[in-house]
Amino acid sequence: MKHYMHLNKEPFEKIKNGTKTIEMRIYDDKRRKMHKGDIIEIENRSTGEIMTVEIINMHVLSSFGEIYARWDKISLGYNEEDVAKPEDMEQYYPKEEIEENGVVAIELKVIK
């Protein structure tokens, strides 16, 4: 199955160059339709460039804290000098949505 996603320029480039391998999202209805082996076309919001990735794995967890504990900050899209903390995800998702849906770490591999 093919899915579509939009990303800001920096995370898009980090996936493209292979440093960001985990995309973190809430596990909402859209993400529940995604499965290992599916394809995602990701559009760079700034440039309109499209990248195609394959879902290597879907890791469904109850909180972003679990994701931050399991993966290193580079694979999550941070720079080496950044302080990575689960609360950073609250700029994208309200706490209530996180608690209601749970979260997913989508493990990605660029295919073109």
For the stretch 16-45, pLDDT in tens is 999 999 999 999 999 999 999 999 999 999
Domains of the chain, by residue range, sit at 2-110
Q: Average pLDDT of the chain?
A: 97
User: What is the architecture of the domain spanning 2-110?
Assistant: Roll (2.30)
pLDDT number for residue 93: 95
For the stretch 35-71, pLDDT in tens is 999 999 999 999 999 999 999 999 999 999 999 999 9
Q: What is the pTM of this model?
A: 0.94
* Backbone angle region of 30, left / alpha / beta, with phi > 0 → left and psi within -120 to 50 → alpha: alpha
pLDDT number for residue 10: 97
Strand duo 22-26 + 39-44: pairing: unpaired
pLDDT number for residue 11: 97
